[in-house]
């Protein structure tokens, strides 16, 4: 069961966690991924920023305003590729921190009650979801992308670790 205060504990920390991993790193670390179709750390920070602006809180408000009668607008998971051309990691980290602060202020302003977390809406792909499902997914989404950043970084040394590769669970098995 979702505890909104516990959710906010994680959501509040994500910008600082990513800044700790990525602030001041070279492009080697910022722009490398772990294979075709995967996100680099730079892509992840851009994606998280875009999601804070267009996904989580807007969808919460959508559920509160429309319930299940009107599906959420679709979320563009790849918008960051165009939005962030020519940007720097430092700039993206600053932008994400600001977007997250705005999102959390907006979330607090909603003053959600446990009963409101049971309100339902319609996801365009998943169907019926609750406001609580949405809030929990926001937390897990942050954690998944934080893992993805670490995975992309670790992948760059997949061969350099030599025989340790099969013991390091973040790397693909040789």
Give the pLDDT confidence of 25-60 residue by residue, as tens digits.
999 999 999 999 999 999 999 999 999 999 999 999
pLDDT of residue 8: 98
How far apart CA 174 and CA 159 sit, in angstroms, is: 9
pTM: 0.95
Partner residues linked to 129 by β-bridges = 121
Residue 9 tokens read as 């504990």
3-state SS, residue 62: helix
Architecture of domain 4-167: Up-down Bundle (1.20)
Domain borders along the chain are: 4-167
Average of pLDDT values for 141-145? 98
> Percent of the chain scored above 90 by pLDDT?
98
Partner residues linked to 120 by β-bridges = 130
CB atoms within 10 A of CB 80: 22
How far apart CA 122 and CA 134 sit, in angstroms, is: 11
């Amino acid at each position: 069961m979702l505890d909104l205060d516990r959710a906010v504990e994680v959501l509040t920390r994500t910008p600082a966690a990513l800044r700790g991993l990525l602030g001041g790193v070279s492009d080697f670390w910022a722009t490398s991924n772990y294979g075709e179709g995967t996100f680099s750390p730079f892509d992840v920070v851009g994606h998280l920023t875009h999601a804070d602006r267009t996904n989580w809180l807007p969808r919460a408000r959508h559920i509160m305003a429309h319930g299940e009668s009107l599906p959420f607008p679709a979320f563009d998971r790849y918008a960051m590729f165009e939005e962030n051309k020519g940007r720097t990691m430092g700039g993206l980290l600053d932008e994400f921190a600001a977007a997250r602060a705005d999102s959390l202020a907006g979330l607090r302003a909603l003053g959600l009650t446990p009963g409101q977390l049971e309100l339902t809406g319609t996801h365009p792909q998943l169907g019926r979801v609750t406001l609580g499902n949405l809030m929990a997914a926001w937390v897990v989404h942050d954690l998944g992308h934080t893992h993805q950043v670490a995975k992309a970084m670790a992948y760059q040394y997949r061969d350099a670790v030599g025989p340790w590769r099969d013991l390091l669970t973040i790397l693909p098995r040789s």
